[in-house]
Amino acid sequence: MKFQKWTVKLSAQHCTIYGKTVDYSRLINKVYQDGARIFVDLGPRTTCSKWISETLEQSPPFSLR
């Protein structure tokens, strides 16, 4: 793996990417439509699993907590 040297431009690019809001329900619906049926929640609580269940309440997702 090749790492890039830190530059102000690179830092600005990271801020642009990491500063964006994630439309979680749209993302989950898209992933589900693309065929995903198993979702793994790696967080310390079950927040993401709850969001997945609420977003796909009419569909049968499987979330591992």
In tens digits, what is the pLDDT along the chain, a chain of 65 residues? Answer: 677 787 888 788 888 888 888 898 999 999 999 999 888 888 788 888 888 888 888 776 565 55
User: Is 4 part of any domain?
Assistant: no
User: Is 35 part of any domain?
Assistant: yes
User: Is 13 part of any domain?
Assistant: no
User: Is 34 part of any domain?
Assistant: yes
User: Is 1 part of any domain?
Assistant: no
The model's pTM: 0.60
pLDDT at position 60 is 66
pLDDT at position 30 is 94
d(CA 58, CA 13): 38
User: Is 3 part of any domain?
Assistant: no
User: Is 2 part of any domain?
Assistant: no
Q: How many domains does the chain have?
A: 1
pLDDT at position 62 is 63
Domain that holds residue 26: 21-64
User: Is 30 part of any domain?
Assistant: yes
d(CA 62, CA 38): 5
